[in-house]
Structure 1
C-alpha cells in the first residue's frame, strides 16, 4: 500500500535519490549533494511543497509544487513542476496518487 506524505526538512533525505534520478532522466549529471541543498532550500524557505509516495519506509516517488500567482484571475496558484516515480514502481498508480494529493492540497489551501 502506498502512503503519500508531505516532505519536511526531516524527510528530505528520503527523496534525494529520487530527485537525483529525476534530474538524470533529463540528462543532468548526478549530484546528490547539490540535490540535498536545493531541496532543503526550497522546503526551508517555503518556496515549494513536496509530497512523497512511500511503500513501507521507502520513498518511491515525489511531486514538487511551486507557488505563484495568476494576474488574470487575481488568485494565488501552484505549478506542478516535478513528478517522478522510480522505474520499478511505474504502472502502479503512484503518479496518479501524487497528482490527486496535489489537487487536494490546492483545494484545501485555496490555490487555483
Structure 2
C-alpha cells in the first residue's frame, strides 16, 4: 500500500474534520462534525496547531495533531502530540508509526527538543505503540486536570 503524509491547511479542512470527528467518537464523544470543523478551522487560522494527514491509496486514512509547548528543563520548544488517529479500515499497516515519524521530523524542522503525549491507561494499542516508537513512559509524574 502506498501512502503519503501532507500537512493540512484550510483547503484540507473537510478531510481533517471528518477524521477528527471519528477520532473523538472513538474516545466516546458525541458525533459532531460541525463542531469539529469549527474547532480545527480556528486552530489552523490562528496557527495554534499543526495537523498532518496520511493518505493511503489517495484516500484520507488518519492524522496527527500537534500543539506547541515549552519544556521547563530543556528550556526549548516541544510539541504535544495531542491527537493521533488511523481509520479502522487502515489499521495494522504502519500508518500510526508513519505519522509519529512525521511528527518527529516536524521537531527537527522546527528546532523542537521533542514530543510529549498522554493516552488513556486503557488504550492498549497506544500503550504498545508508543514505546515501540521510542517514547519513554514517565512514571514519576501524575497528570492532573482542572475543568471549568
What TM-score, normalized by structure 1, do the two folds share? Answer: 0.96
1:45 and 2:46 matched: yes
Indicate conservation of the 8 Å contact 2:3/2:58, yes or no.
no
Higher strand residue share: 1
Which structure 2 segments of 5+ residues have no match? 114-148
1:8 and 2:9 matched: yes
Could you say what the CA RMSD is over the residues aligned between the two structures, in angstroms?
0.9
What TM-score, normalized by structure 2, do the two folds share? Answer: 0.73
Which structure 1 segments of 5+ residues have no match? none
3-state SS, counterpart of residue 81 of structure 1: strand
Aligned residues: 112
Q: Write out the 4+ residue segments of structure 1 that deviate beyond 3 Å after TM superposition.
A: none
Larger radius of gyration: 2
Corresponding position of 2:31: 30
3-state SS, counterpart of residue 47 of structure 1: coil
Corresponding position of 2:18: 17
Distance in structure 1 (CA, Å) of the matches to 2:61 and 2:111: 28
The CA deviation string for residues 31-61 of structure 1, in whole angstroms up to 9 with x for no partner, is 0000000001111101011000012432110
Higher helix residue share: 1
